[in-house]
Amino acid sequence: MTINRRQFLLQSSATLAALATIKQRALAKALEITSIKDLYKDDFYIGTAIGDRQMHEADPKFMNLVAKEFNAVTMENSMKWERVHPRPGKWNWELADKFMDFADKHKMFKVGHVLVWHSQVPSWVFQDEAGKPLDRDALLARMRGHIGKIAGRYAGRMNSWDVVNEAIDEDKGWRKSPWFNIIGPDFMDYAFNFARETDSSAQLVYNDYNMHNPGKRAFLVDYIRKAKKRGVPIQGVGLQGHVGLDFPDILEFEASLKAYAAEGMRLHITELDLDVLPVAWEFSGAEISASFEYSDKINPYPNGLPAKVEQQLTDRYVEFFKLFLKYRDHIDRVTFWGVSDKNSWKNDFPVKGRTNYPLLFDRNFERKPCYDAIAKLKI
């Protein structure tokens, strides 16, 4: 029987549609019995951050989802100085201990966040009893005591510490934080050395945002080279993945992966989320003190994400995960900064009251198309 062109095209379309359906069913079946962490188990850890409220409430639905889908966890806030050590001699261990016990129970890679940071630190840390600024030696002693207490409590259990967070300014060298202003540029050397003397096994990481920035990249590479000659035990670089639909330039992000790996650093993608909202007044960083006035113009999707934007979100996540797979030999961990859109900090940062959609799970904890697309890369 002779098949004309029209019949051939119809049959071909039907065949392609059938194959697509089979593939979709195969994906759905695979995801019934596995998870994103299992799909990427031979490449790198897939992690998430757990907030204080979520850890305190320990909702079974939420905690079971974390245990099923992720094999690395970061405590979002309860290991930061203002939460765990709010006053001299006062330590709050409840949530941090619960976090460690949960992670141990499920054999997860544990990330301590963070030992030294300019933000979320009580003002007393930098002052004496009279409220005057501490001198260099006194602040170093305070740093050493804090690191010794918290890192010492979890020594042998913690897999990785974000030792220093966001210490480099944009194209300006060192951030002029109280740590820098009082101690000097060697404060980071001391932080890493104090962490190592306290815990001999945890991986020690420097963590920062906008790590694709060429100026920041060059400054950090220079620091790493000199620090290694001084014997500073820096072992990894955490690239906060606060990205958007059109920023950063993924080639610059790759250039940073390549540059840090070339210095012998293990790579961690530490705070991955994908902002779909318009950039507020050209701000694309993650400086927590930033805040801008709300307007409807920069909150365009309060009732749901349009299909076109959902596809852009999905495509962008696939673009980044293809890059991560390219550098899988150097990447230890990819951690999402949260589990679902409902509890993402991006709903309120840097503009309070917006509705954002930056993560793999929606507000009902259901998998989004971007989840399926990332999974397809491994099926």
* Beta strands, E only, the chain: 45-50, 72-75, 109-117, 160-165, 203-208, 236-239, 242-244, 266-275, 331-336
Strand partners, 294: none
Q: Provide the pLDDT confidence category of residue 348 given band limits of 50, 70 and 90.
A: confident
Q: Provide the pLDDT confidence category of residue 121 given band limits of 50, 70 and 90.
A: very high
Q: How far is residue 86's CA from residue 326's CA, in Å, rounded to a whole number?
A: 42
* Portion of the chain with pLDDT greater than 90, in percent: 83
Q: What is the per-residue pLDDT for 291?
A: 57
Q: What is the per-residue pLDDT for 279?
A: 79
More confident residue, 220 or 292: 220
Contact 70, 108 (CB under 8 A): yes
Tell me: pLDDT of 280 over 70: no
Tell me: pLDDT of 114 over 70: yes
Quick check: helix, strand or coil at residue 168? strand
Tell me: pLDDT of 377 over 60: yes
Asked if omega into 350 is within 30° of 0 (cis), the reply is yes
In the numeric block, the tokens 């306290």 are attached to 198
| Average pLDDT of span 32-37 | 85
Tell me: pLDDT of 31 over 80: no
Q: How far is residue 141's CA from residue 204's CA, in Å, rounded to a whole number?
A: 20
Q: What is the per-residue pLDDT for 199?
A: 98
**Average pLDDT for the chain:** 92
Tell me: pLDDT of 282 over 80: no
| Average pLDDT of span 316-328 | 98
Q: What is the per-residue pLDDT for 172?
A: 81
Which residues carry out catalysis? 166, 271
| pTM for the model | 0.89
Q: Provide the pLDDT confidence category of residue 13 given band limits of 50, 70 and 90.
A: low
Tell me: pLDDT of 241 over 70: yes
Domains, the chain, with CATH or none: 34-289+333-339 (3.20.20.80)
Q: What is the per-residue pLDDT for 181?
A: 98
Q: What is the per-residue pLDDT for 349?
A: 79
Tell me: pLDDT of 139 over 80: yes
| Average pLDDT of span 350-377 | 96
Q: Could you report the per-residue pLDDT of 42-85, keeping only the tens digit for each? A: 999 999 999 999 999 999 999 999 999 999 999 999 999 999 99
Closest by CA position to 195, among listed 185, 205, 186: 205
Q: What is the per-residue pLDDT for 94?
A: 97
Asked if omega into 248 is within 30° of 0 (cis), the reply is yes
Q: What is the per-residue pLDDT for 6?
A: 62
More confident residue, 340 or 17: 340
Q: Are strands 109-117 and 160-165 parallel, antiparallel or unpaired?
A: parallel
| Average pLDDT of span 344-354 | 89
Distance in Å from the first CA to the final CA of the chain = 38
